[in-house]
Amino acid sequence: MRDILIGCGQITWIRFTSNGRQWLAPEEQVLTEIAQAGYDGAPASPERDRSAQETIELYGRYGLRPAPGYIGTAFWNKERRDEILERVRRHASFSRAVGSTELYVAPGGFDYVTRSGRRRYELAGHVRPEDSLTDEEFQIFAETLNLAGAITLAEGVRSCFHNHVGTVIETREEVDRLLMLTDPDLVFLGPDTGHLAWAGADPVAFAATTPNVSRRCTSRTSLPPCEIVGGRPDGITAPSSSRASLSSSAKAVFPFRRSSPS
């Protein structure tokens, strides 16, 4: 496991508001504090409008390495497929250039309106079967993920699916259903174990019994031992949970591979 490093996400220093993200500290301070805490790296993204080389040099000044980036979006929306896949291409190319061999792909949908008329973020920790995506939306989600996985693999980067409380893929049942529809040779795993527990699932049982989990989550194929993110372990969330609190309630701590930029 000497090729595995531990990264820390910048989400701890971000507040999510109705007007978008609000950074609570300058990026230089964030990277300094991540390094001082003993982490090896932090997520890097082309959406910061920096080149791969500029990113490597910036992180290097703090003794950090770029860690896998993250795309959370409406994979179930077929009308947005071309836009989403173009974003995936940009991230895949950037990931390869900074030396990341994985990319997190996650559902959006905090504001997805369920059949009950309530939004998914309002149901966090209390999702019922009737609150899920439709059969057609699940199928589209899986098809788009397979396409995304093929795009990133062409760059030597694995697309690792990441669940998130308050989005359209939260519960164990939703994760299992999506994985059954995707190709395990194209879509791998980077699960949020804290959010699995928050949603009422047993992360250990998930690893032991989820279809194809051993194939998708081994040292050969994904992020060992998969992403570990601190969430609410009691599976409880207040009825008044907001989208902002769901996004900023935890610190993301995760393993990533030691690799060299290409």
> Would residue 37 count as lying in a domain?
no
Other Cβ atoms closer than 10 A to 51: 13
| Residue 125 belongs to some domain of the structure | yes
Is residue 27 included in any domain, yes or no?
A: no
Total domains in the fold of the chain: 1
Quickly count: other Cβ atoms within 10 Å of residue 219's Cβ: 12
Separation CA 185–CA 177 (nearest Å): 17
CA distance 116 to 127: 11
C-alpha 67, offset from chain centre: 12
At 191, is the secondary structure helix, strand, or coil? coil
- pLDDT at site 151: 98
Domain with residue 200: its CATH number is 3.20.20.150
Does 44 reside within a domain?
A: no
Q: What is the pTM of this model?
A: 0.85
pLDDT for res 207: 79
pLDDT at 220: 32
The two three-digit tokens of residue 194, written as one number? 């804290």
DSSP state, residue 122: G
Task: Give me the pLDDT at residue 224, please.
Answer: 44
How confident is the model at residue 83, as a pLDDT? 98
Q: Is residue 203 in a domain?
A: yes
- Rounded distance between C-alpha atoms, residue 249 and residue 22, angstroms: 15
- pLDDT value at residue 193: 84
Q: What tens digit of pLDDT does each residue of 158-189 get?
A: 999 999 999 999 999 999 999 999 999 999 98
Let me know if residue 262 belongs to a domain: no
Indicate whether 86 belongs to any domain. yes
**Confidence at residue 237, expressed as pLDDT on a 0 to 100 scale:** 35
- The residue ranges of DSSP E strands in the chain, in sequence order, are 4-8, 14-17, 20-23, 41-43, 65-67, 70-73, 102-107, 158-161, 187-189, 228-229, 252-257
Environment class of residue 240 by beta-carbon count within 10 Å: exposed (0-12), middle (13-18) or buried (19+)?
exposed
Please report whether residue 9 resides in a domain: no
The DSSP secondary structure of 23-84, one letter per residue, reads: ESS-HHHHHHHHHHTT-SEEE--GGGS--HHHHHHHHHTTT-EEE--EEEE-TT-GGGHHHH
Low-confidence ranges of the chain (pLDDT < 50): 1, 214, 218-226, 228-250
Domain limits for position 188: 70-250
